[in-house]
Amino acid sequence: MYNRRNENPGCLTGLLQLFLLKNVYNWAQDHFGSKRGGCCGCVMGVIFFLIFAALVLKIVFNVDWTSIRF
């Protein structure tokens, strides 16, 4: 039986995901992040950066962070 999980996504799929991620990141920074100013905004900006950096690595390198295999 053919398993679709082993199939790598295409280039356009990755570019679309990165485009959508960029838009979500900019929206989150505008509403909650470091552009709001203050200590809380700076902390949220760093948290957003770490989360979205991990998501970019997942999209670009196709890394599954939830799977632990030996």
Q: How far is CA 70 from CA 20, 30, 56, 67, in A?
A: 33, 41, 25, 10
Amino acid at 24: V
Confidence of residue 20 (pLDDT cuts 50, 70, 90): very high
The per-residue pLDDT for 11 is 83
User: Which tokens is 58 given?
Assistant: 């997942």
Q: What is the DSSP letter of 5?
A: G
> Does pLDDT of 32 surpass 90?
no
Q: Is the pLDDT reported for residue 26 higher than 80?
A: yes
